[in-house]
Amino acid sequence: MNFNTHLQRFLFRVGSGVRARAKRHAPLKTGNLKKDIQVFDDKIQRLQISVGNTK
């Protein structure tokens, strides 16, 4: 495994932790926001992660 693979896995773990925390703190009116929060790991190739919703 090379350095980039380790870094990608690390970034995904960090993003997943942020996602979990965002879901815990998201208001629960309909539950749609909590369901929609996700990690966009397609940007990991650029050593960047995004956490947000699909809207």
Mean per-residue pLDDT pooled into runs of 10, the chain (55 residues)? 79 88 85 80 62 62
Rounding to the nearest 10 degrees, give the CA dihedral for residues 38, 41, 42, 46: 130
Domains held by the chain: number: 1
pLDDT at 10: 87
The domain in which residue 46 lies consists of 3-52
User: Could you identify the residue written with the tokens 């993003």?
Assistant: 15
pTM of the shown model: 0.68
| Nearest partner of 50 among 36, 34, 38, judged by Cα | 38
b (16+ CB within 10 A) / e for 7-45: ebeebeeebeebbeebbeebeeeeeeebeebbbeeeebe
